[in-house]
Amino acid sequence: MYLGSIEIHHSLMTSGNAAAFANYHTGTNDWPGIAYMHVIDRDGTVNWCWDWDVIPYHLGDSNRRALGICLVGDFRTQQPTVVQYAAALVLVRM
């Protein structure tokens, strides 16, 4: 269980999904799996990528203290969708 912070990331891509991110993280970064606990698609679907007792690689030295959630989208040029934002709120409030 995480007792620190919740880190909300965006994928820096206008599209994508948990499987594509996992392939990149394992194939390119040589990590053991996807970096995030959850990935939230643009349609609001929440993908549970890891159990909460796993420590993935999303935040450098702070991985043990932060639960990582990634929203699909490049928020330099896009906004989260309404349903994506609502899904993120549900996770944060759990």
Number of domains in the chain: 1
Would you state the torsion angle of the CA atoms of residues 51, 93, 35, 71, taken in this order, to the nearest 10 degrees? 130
pTM equals 0.84
Domain assignment of residue 87, given as a range: 5-92
- Predicted confidence at residue 65, as pLDDT, reads 65
CATH number for the domain harbouring residue 77: 3.40.80.10
- pLDDT tens-place string over residues 2-52: 557 778 889 998 989 999 988 988 888 788 888 888 999 999 999 998 777
More confident residue, 53 or 7: 7
- Predicted confidence at residue 70, as pLDDT, reads 93
- Predicted confidence at residue 26, as pLDDT, reads 84
Write the DSSP assignment of 36-73 as a string of letters: -SEEE-TTSPEEE-S-TT---SSSGGGGGGEEEEEESS
More confident residue, 58 or 66: 66
Whose tokens are 């709120």? That residue is 89
